[in-house]
Amino acid sequence: MIFSLTPRLENIASHVTGATAADIGTDHAYVPIELVREGRCTYVIASDIKPGPAAIARENVKKYMCADRIEVRTGPGLSVIDIGETEDIIIAGMGGILIRDIIAADIEKAKAARLVLQPMNSQYELRHYLIENGFNITEEDISVEGFKVYNLITAEKGSGTPFENDGLYHLPPYLAEHEYFDRLYAKKMRELDRVIDGIRTASSPDIDKLNKYQKWKQEISEFFSK
């Protein structure tokens, strides 16, 4: 490769298993370029909702001589692809709620492919949605860049198994053996503590919300201290 992917982007690329893929919200199209130049995919659709990033993606695809294997499209979410057009669908680098909404807007398209998801936040909401709406979480991974820790979730159509308690939707038990689990655990506890402290110091504390976050923190702490 003429350029090197960051650990976060390399983690995404490494989980693409199909010969064809769609990268939704591709930005600079670095992941699609990596996929075709390294022979992981024969064809990739790179899309972005904004014309500016899509134009940059086209320039990069042309620059790295991948125009015969990467098609750049402009449009929102999964509207840019047909059902079953690619084996894998990548949705990464955005919030978990936005990823959830993109899937929900075209759920049959999402179920016709294998999903490679990298939510920057709201992993709890995304995991809940997947398991409750006919997806099975098949694998999760963690990548680290400096002080930043990232989740990666792969999912496909199936019957997902609910977690033992609600707190584990924040931090699934199967990640405990990962080399970066301690980093992710610390990040998640900091996130919960920030919300708890914010509620406590508010002029009118939301007690129900406070209890919910304290319960999640307790469930996570107790489960992983066994």
Question: d(Cα 62, Cα 33) in Å, to the nearest integer?
Answer: 10
Is the CB of residue 176 less than 8 Å from the CB of residue 162?
no
The predicted model scores a pTM of 0.95
Q: What are phi and psi of 93, to 5 degrees?
A: 75, 25
Class at the top of the CATH hierarchy for domain 7-162: alpha beta
Domain range annotation of the chain: 7-162, 163-226
pLDDT of residue 144: 97
Judge whether 51 and 57 are in contact, CB under 8 Å: no
Tell me the mean pLDDT per 10 residues along the chain, length 226. Answer: 85 98 96 96 97 96 96 97 98 97 98 98 97 97 96 96 95 96 97 97 95 97 90
Per-residue pLDDT at 13: 97
Work out the burial of residue 71: count CB atoms within 10 Å of its CB; fewer than 13 is exposed, 13-18 middle, 19 or more buried.
Answer: middle
For 139, the token pair is 């694998």
Closest to 160 in 3D by CA, of 224, 226, 111, 218: 111
**DSSP single-letter state for residue 88:** E
pLDDT of residue 76: 96
* Model pLDDT, residue 3: 74
